[in-house]
């Protein structure tokens, strides 16, 4: 397994008009939950190695209908405070940062 963890932002749109679409949506959400933090309804921040990312992409590709669904992955680099800004609700938890107890 690769040693360098990347920060990846994953966003998805899955068709939910059909029952099959809603099933795909649940599958995609489950795969994302396994590798990152849900920060919005269909947005995840994942810390993954190259190998984990490859596996995730393969599993996602098998789970969606490419004609109707869309998944986008963005590699995020730089210090978190420099590259991420939020307005309103924010339920992100910085597991790597110093814990305040």
Q: Which residues bind a copy of itself (CB under 8 A)?
A: 9, 11-13, 39-43, 57, 60-61, 64-78, 82-90
Tell me if 21 sits within 8 A of 65, measured CB to CB.
yes
CB of 74 to a copy of itself, least distance (A): 6
Q: Could you tell me the CA-to-CA distances from 83 to 8, 22, 76, 78, 88 in Å, in that order?
A: 12, 33, 8, 6, 17
Question: Which single residue is written with the structure tokens 């590709």?
Answer: 61
| Residue closer to a copy of itself (CB basis): 40 or 51 | 40
CB of 66 to a copy of itself, least distance (A): 4
DSSP string, 40-81: ETTEEEEEE-HHHHHHHHHHHHHHS-TTT-EEEEEEE-S-HH
| Residue closer to a copy of itself (CB basis): 74 or 101 | 74
CB of 65 to a copy of itself, least distance (A): 7
| 10 DSSP β-pair partners | 44, 73
| Residue closer to a copy of itself (CB basis): 63 or 95 | 63
CB of 101 to a copy of itself, least distance (A): 26
| Residue closer to a copy of itself (CB basis): 89 or 101 | 89
């Amino acid at each position: 397994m690769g040693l360098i963890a990347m920060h990846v932002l994953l966003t998805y749109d899955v068709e939910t008009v059909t029952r099959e679409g809603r099933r795909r949506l649940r599958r995609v959400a489950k795969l994302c939950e396994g590798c990152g933090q849900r920060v919005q309804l269909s947005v995840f921040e994942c810390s993954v190695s190259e190998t984990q990312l490859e596996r995730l992409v393969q599993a996602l590709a098998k789970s969606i209908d490419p004609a109707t669904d869309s998944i986008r992955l963005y590699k995020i680099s730089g210090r978190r405070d420099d590259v991420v800004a939020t307005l309103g609700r924010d339920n992100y938890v910085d597991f790597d940062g110093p814990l305040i107890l």
